[in-house]
Chain A
Amino acid sequence: MRATTLLVAVTFVVAGCGRPQNPPGGQPTPPPAPPPPPPAGVRVVDMIPASLSGETWQDAEPFLTVFASKPNILAASAFTPNPGGPASTTAPIYVSDDGGSTWSLRNTLPSNVQTADITHAGGESPTLYATILSTPSIALKDLETTDVLSATTMTQDATRPNTDQPFVRAIRAASTDRLYVGINDFGAPNGRTATVDVSLNGGTTFTSRRIESRNTLGQNGPSIRPAVARNNTVYVAYFGWRSNAGDTITSDIVVARDDNGATGTTPFRNLVDASDNQPGRLVATNRTIVFSNGPTLGQERIGSTLSLAVDALHSDTVYIAWADRVGSGDIQTVHVRRSLDGGVTWSNDLRTLPNTTNPALAVADDGTLGLLYQQLTGTGNASRWVNRFEQSRDGFATHKDLVLATVPANTPASQFLPYLGDYDGLLTRGTEFLGIFSANNTPDPANFPSGVVFQRRVNQATHQLLDGSGSPVAVSIDPFFFSVPVMP
């Protein structure tokens, strides 16, 4: 038997740290009051498995898939490389078969070592559809597996070059999976690059549907975000980049809609803007967006932050979140707005969040909106990334908030960009919100006020990560899964 720390998942209950020393000649300092226990039903799980306890990679840009008919099965991804190293011809995904309490990594993506962009969606359970930019070619690959728990390599449905940031959504209709892949297609004509690749036959064939109806500066912004309601209404949000001065873009925020699952010959033309009678409602116009491929918001880059969610049961209710520069000393500010009439009219900001990135929206079955985001607070060495989750049923007149993680922003040093991700993920399943974000993985309970479970080896007393032999492991960025009950 090895005399080593027991290698098990360690649950941190938020507890007081060590007592401060008595002042010389003084009375014993009373112990600090213990922090309140984490909210009931909230789980935060560091997804790095125990067998990879020595891992120090920057596992940024996480994404999550749930399977409606198989609630125990989840799939996730991040920029996690194949542990086998640079000669690997596959990249990994994360899977859970116990509802997210534990996770394993399996090398099933056909991409050398790791992927660039990756998103995924669940089809007829447990089919998983993934869209990736593979390395080293950065070619788009549409992939699928009929069994997400299988460890065999996913099959390729389609591939092509010259695209950016694939973002896939799926829905079951007419006994078949329908896929909607938002992509920025540099091969599109006339610089109108915002595109949705539509498959009405579970990935067998795809048709590129151009959704930008107005002139651009030569392209749209990278983020094209579909959202699908259960009645097959499909919304797509995108940035209409109209002009630029260097890296400072003047952009519209646009939402298109198709009422028939994009099955017609000219889809995404059901929502027209009255100002020019063109398809695509202009939610906001003349917004300033700085596109920066360097560290700008802390160690993170900025330039294309967008999320869209539709109430799956009430397709007229749509939420959008995007980031731009307001110009009041912010680096970038996230705006959250709502439409209650299918995108025709939009509220003013329901939330305005300075120095924030990676908003992710989801709507529960009872209409409760969930909002996940990462906000940079403080300055210099005191700056922190605060990962918050908010819920509201009244357009944020009131909202219930949780801090999932508050972590140092300056450590670890970035290995590449994005530092945390160009997006994260939020979904709903039944009476829960399920989500994923990436953050500094220091196993300090103070960093995780809602509690945290580490699968990888940690030392509770010293707040250190450990490898299999018990040696300290450097702090890095890990993906964290979380679940939060829909508020009562």
Chain B
Amino acid sequence: MRTRSLIALIVLISLAVPLSAQISRVALVRRSDIIFVGTVTRAGVVRVDQVFEKPGAVSLMKGDSVAVVAARAGSPPLNPGMQATFYTTGWIYGRWITVREVGHELIGPQLATVAGAGGTAHQDLVARARQQVDDADLKARIQTAAMVVVGRVEQIRPPAYTGAPAPHKRFTEHDPNWQEAIIHVDEALKGATAGERVVVRFPGSRDVAFVGTPKFAAGQEGTFLLRKDSATGSPLALMAGQTVQAYTALHRLDVLPKQDAPHVRTLMRGP
């Protein structure tokens, strides 16, 4: 056992039934941010055998022990020696980690061979489930977008509001400092026409409130999922003397690399 740290681990397996009778692997992966294969070393203590997924900031590796608290009280305890894939969320980060169990997948005969082969194939199953989760999230964004385009940012400018009063200026550190990106549509995937130009508003502020919000720069190319502006309070813009609808792309999935366009097209075609 590693002397690096002793992490009290209380793992309560909630169910001892095949995965198919439990939540699907995709559903487990969706709700998890720390996924690992572990072996119960003693009551409530699990040694990590292999880490499949974890946030980059988290220190967790083979040989560590982790505390896992069951999602439901009263679940039967794990027996020492049992091996399982644990789907968990980080809960308390101290010298050790305590995680909440989302679910687990016993390493039974159908997975023992997979796990025995370095666990690579099993890790692939989890990775595939993660891809399905990511695709489902992206597809949801695509379906609710007003426009999906491949294009290039031609210009960044201050907002050209029209049709409604410009938002009243406030002195606050959380002022979004709205800017406009004029995007040339190279390829229209949904709701647009190739060759048109679209006004996309984004917060130019560097405030912490907008740290995760996509920003644009002149010359930037990408695949953009756009929504009609309902954020600034002035949804129309001026472009070339015309009043046009303004759009926003405020979610991290709304601004993708240009090379993601084929994947977006595939998701748009699917069921």
Contact = CB atoms under 8 A, between A and B. Distances in A.
Interface in A50-70: 50-57, 60-61
Interface string A281-293: 0000000000101
Contacts of B90: 82-84, 107
Nearest to B92: A106
B95 to A, nearest CB: 5
Contacts of A51: 58-60, 93-97
Given A291-B171, A293-B206, A103 B58 contact: no
B172 A56 contact: no
Give the secondary structure class of B's interface: loop
Interface stretch (A171-179, A206-214, A325-333, A416-424): A416-424
A83 B91 contact: no
A54 B5 contact: no
Nearest to B54: A83
Interface in A257-312: 291, 293-294, 301, 303-304
Contact of B59 (A1, A219, A222, A467): A467
Interface stretch (A2-10, A366-374, A427-435): A2-10
Given A6-B4, A86-B212, A103-B94, A54 B58 contact: yes
A55 B57 contact: yes
B55 A83 contact: yes
Contacts of A103: 94
Give the secondary structure class of A's interface: loop
Interface string B51-67: 00001111111011000
Counting contact residues on chain B (CB < 8 A from A), the size range is 35 or more
Contacts of B59: 7, 50-54, 457, 467-469
Contacts of A247: 171
A222 B172 contact: yes
A49 interface: yes
Contacts of A83: 33, 55, 57-58, 90, 93
B94 A49 contact: yes
A171 B115 CA distance: 57
Counting contact residues on chain A (CB < 8 A from B), the size range is 35 or more
A482 interface: no
Instruction: Report which residue of A57, A247, A293 has the largest number of chain B beta carbons within 10 angstroms of its beta carbon.
Output: A293
B269 interface: no
Contact of B172 (A2, A54, A184): A184
Given A57-B57, A293-B177, A135 B209 contact: yes
A50 B59 CA distance: 7
Contact of B252 (A86, A417, A418): A86
B208 A49 contact: no
Contact of A85 (B33, B172, B213): B33
B135 interface: no
Interface of B: 1-5, 33, 55-61, 63-64, 89-98, 170-175, 177, 205-213, 250, 252
Interface of A: 1-2, 4, 6-7, 49-57, 60-61, 79, 82-88, 92, 102-107, 113-114, 116, 133, 135-136, 138, 151, 164-165, 184, 186, 219, 221-222, 241, 244, 247, 249, 291, 293-294, 301, 303-304, 414-418, 422, 455, 457, 467-469
- 6 tightest CB-CB pairs across the interface, nearest first? A468-B59, A104-B94, A55-B57, A84-B33, A105-B93, A116-B209
